[in-house]
Structure 1
Amino acid sequence: MHRGPRHAGGGQAVNGRAAGAAAVWALGATQIIGYGTLYYAFSILAASIAQDLNWSLEWVYGAFSAALLAGGLLAPISGGWIDRFGAGRVMVLGSVTAALALAGIALAPDRAFFVLGLVAIEAVSTLVLYDSAFAALAQIAGQDAKRRIGQLTLIGGFASTLFWPLTAWLLDSLTWREIYLLFAGLHLLLCAPLHMMLIARRRGPAQERGERAVPAGREVQGSLPEAARRRAFLLLLAGFSAGGFVLSAVLVHMVPVLGGLGLGAGAVLVGSLFGPAQVLGRLVNMAFGRDLPSTRLAVLSAGLLPAAIALLLLTAPWLPAALLFAVILGLGSGLVSIVRGTVPLELFGSRGYGAMLGKITAVRLVVTAGAPFAFALLLERAGSAAALWGMAAIGLIGMLALLALARLAAAPAVTAAGAAGAEPESAAR
């Protein structure tokens, strides 16, 4: 009499794992295309854009920074749509509108239309990049979402590795406008159908009636009780924003800063290790961090940033230590991408998860948008060493905020209340 239910439950578990694995591969492809076309390709095409529009390179990058900020401000709206309509539907819409935005910028007749197109690209990017993909995995994989998010960031880490050389190769035979038209076709013909698959993967009896975005039985309950959630959310914002500020500032200026510390030609070699180290960090997490609480991983990822900067400052211009700096910084950055998705899910649960990620992204992007400019001022007025010590201090503050969050999450009263099934509805209120 008991075999039927056990068999059915086992079949559901197998189907759930298969759905999660398929979603990871589908989203991995769309994240590589999304980040590659909407973000990384711009640095390769910027010089051609500036020449074609008879505009200085500084103004082109300034328009890009403004567009990134505008996209961040719209992130809470896309997060709310994800919770209401499901990530699959929102990502299909995002793929179609990304194709239109890319085509629009390719056909822009002047600077004004170019800026409008750039803002449109970064606005719709919030519908298709990591935050939306993390929410899709939470809706599809449920309790297995934490592991699936780690797998996804590992695949997505190859976006720059693939699209920087691909874009440069295309630029040898195509104009920047033709390249953006080609990228528009990728979103329409590849990403949109892959995102359509997510709707079918997510669909269940509850979704047929439109009752909720997360299927019954797959909803993740957050570990924090209501009383602790406001404080936890503020600590989360502080930690993530500080880390984002440091990475945004240092990465934009990495090569000139390393040169200013006396590394000379070795600066390019040091910078080239950052990307592979990000992927290495995600691989290490997949291999050894499966049972590590996300809050502890967040503390580790945040602590690696000031540690790397301090190592560089204390040993420059010694090249081997500078290479280790790039590896440690890359490891931290790679882990940051994972905890951005897993910590909110672990602490606050999957209900309202999309809206929460939208709020976190909005604050983080607003804070980090000015980081390259602020760091440039510090470099000019105080020099490379003082500017980097300032970044190390900000990174340390972020680590301390996440350490306080980890302690709050591990408190016996919090754990007991979370196990009792505290309602996750108003995590960020």
Structure 2
Amino acid sequence: MTPHRLPVGAVLGLGVTQIIGYGTLYYSFSILAPDMARGYGLPVEWMFGALSVALLVGGLVSPSIGGWIDRFGAGRIMAVGSLVAALALIGCAASPNRPSFLVALVVIEVAANFVQYGAAFALLVQIAPNVALRSITYLTLIAGFASTIFWPVTSALHASLSWQQIYLVFAGMNALVCLPVHAWLARTARPVRGNASTTEVRKVEGSLPPEKRRSGFVLMIVGFSLQALVSSAVLVHMVPLLSGLGLGAAAALVGTLFGPAQVASRLINMLLGRDLQPLVLAAISALLMAAAIAVLAATAPSMVGAMGFAVLFGFGSGLFSIVSGTLPLSLFGSEGYGRLQGKITSARLIVSAMAPFAFAIAIKPLGEVLSLSIAAICGSLALLAFLAIGRRAG
């Protein structure tokens, strides 16, 4: 692979596997959870509690996965992850009781860290680091259709199949589509061996001076974690939140606008934002998410306000997916990128697992408007964290 040439095949292949990975291992769960809960005689809330536990465990093991990506190569790790994901889906479908189901669900979410964005970004960096910023942008544009595809696909399958049968179908997708693609890419992303000049061409230096990298990394983790907190809390509680604000009928409209807005923001960035630095995009992302929540809190129960919230939040969320891959590369370089992504993924998953529960507790005594105001403040603090990084980089 020529270091300065965009790895089109890798981007397209990963686009397919990311759609399948996110669709089968994450987005399908909310549709199948009620059927799962009935089968095990549990309230549906317990199913989402089990998912939170699984995400939390996945977050705790992410740093180790990041180290393995640097050591063995992201392609090999993703190939193993596809196999484990397929076996875990089969195990989940065959679980005879609640404990075995929870164990299988935890394995599914751990396997997700082997095959989703963090590992995919690292693979693109290992294949061609000098064009990885563009590659990551293109990949997020393709993978942004995961929910758009798999929510209706899962619903259609569920009309005639049980959740266990659907999980078996999903296991086949991971084993028969994702595994071969990742195995092929594992050969493409082998560590470069050769003279020093060749290795140097493939290496990307970070913009932060060495003496400022520790504080810069802490600020980046804080910014990303705050954005993950806001995103997870608001999206999980979207429908009851809108209902509590007197916008029950707008819930469906928000759902139809949010996904396309995510994809649109990535497309606009790809076409017009090539000269924008990832740190600038990170600040814009945090600003849009905070502004979206502020608009919703200030205008409810206005339908126009709800629409503005959906579009702004979708724009911010779409950019967030991009900068979570490009900002670490821009600030810290390609050396040890897998470990960086492992730590970032860990922080995001831990916060994402806890945020919906924390937000649910806050809404009852504080109310929707005050809870949203706190979320907007968190988004603003994320913006300040990125601006602080800019002062260090400048």
TM-score by length of 1: 0.89
Equivalent residue number for residue 253 of structure 1 = 237
Of 147, 172, 178, the residue aligned with 2:165 is 178
Report the CA distance between 1:31 and its aligned residue.
0.1
Any idea what SS the aligned residue of 2:193 has? helix
Aligned-pair Cα RMSD in Å: 1.7
Kindly name which structure, 1 or 2, has the bigger radius of gyration based on alpha carbons: 1
Any idea what SS the aligned residue of 2:115 has? coil
Instruction: Check the 8 A contact 1:35/1:129 in 2, yes or no.
Output: yes
Any idea what SS the aligned residue of 1:44 has? helix
Alignment of 1:329-368 (within 5 A): 329-368=313-352
1:17 paired with 2:2, answer no
Report the CA distance between 1:205 and its aligned residue.
5.1
Q: For 1:267 and 1:98, how far apart are their aligned partners in 2?
A: 33
Q: Deviations over 1:80-112 (max 9, x none)?
A: 011001111111111111111111111111111
1:66 paired with 2:56, answer no
Equivalent residue number for residue 22 of structure 2 = 35
Report the CA distance between 1:215 and its aligned residue.
5.6
Alignment of 1:30-429 (within 5 A): 30-203=17-190, 206=193, 217-409=201-393, 411=394
Q: Deviations over 1:160-213 (max 9, x none)?
A: 001111011111111111111111111111101101121222236519x9x9xx
Instruction: Check the 8 A contact 1:204/1:215 in 2, yes or no.
Output: no
Q: For 1:360 and 1:132, how far apart are their aligned partners in 2?
A: 11
Amino acid at match of 2:120: A
- Tell me: CA distance 1:53–1:400, structure 2 relative to 1, closer, same or farther (3 Å): same
Q: For 2:28 and 2:2, how far apart are their aligned partners in 1?
A: 41
Q: Deviations over 1:285-316 (max 9, x none)?
A: 10111111100110000111111111112222
Amino acid at match of 2:5: R
Q: For 2:79 and 2:326, how far apart are their aligned partners in 1?
A: 23
For structure 1, the residue ranges without an aligned partner over 5 or more in a row are: 1-10, 412-429
Report the CA distance between 1:17 and its aligned residue.
2.2
Amino acid at match of 2:152: P
Moved more, 163-172 or 263-272: 263-272
Q: For 2:55 and 2:2, how far apart are their aligned partners in 1?
A: 41
Instruction: Check the 8 A contact 1:203/1:215 in 2, yes or no.
Output: no
Q: Deviations over 1:210-262 (max 9, x none)?
A: x9xx9652121111221000010010011001111011111111121112212
Residue identity over aligned pairs, in percent, reads 54
Q: For 2:158 and 2:275, how far apart are their aligned partners in 1?
A: 45
Q: For 2:136 and 2:119, how far apart are their aligned partners in 1?
A: 11
Amino acid at match of 1:287: L
Q: For 2:254 and 2:75, how far apart are their aligned partners in 1?
A: 39
- Tell me: CA distance 1:232–1:205, structure 2 relative to 1, closer, same or farther (3 Å): closer
Instruction: Check the 8 A contact 1:139/1:219 in 2, yes or no.
Output: no
Q: Deviations over 1:134-185 (max 9, x none)?
A: 0000011211000110000011110000111101111111111111111111
Report the CA distance between 1:370 and its aligned residue.
1.5
Equivalent residue number for residue 427 of structure 1 = none
Amino acid at match of 1:355: R
Q: For 1:12 and 1:292, how far apart are their aligned partners in 2?
A: 24
For structure 2, the residue ranges without an aligned partner over 5 or more in a row are: none
Equivalent residue number for residue 7 of structure 1 = none
- Structure 1 stretches of 4+ with a deviation exceeding 3 A read none
- Tell me: CA distance 1:204–1:254, structure 2 relative to 1, closer, same or farther (3 Å): closer
Instruction: Check the 8 A contact 1:143/1:218 in 2, yes or no.
Output: yes
- Tell me: CA distance 1:263–1:143, structure 2 relative to 1, closer, same or farther (3 Å): same
Equivalent residue number for residue 415 of structure 1 = none
Q: Deviations over 1:29-72 (max 9, x none)?
A: 00000000000010111011111111111111110110011011
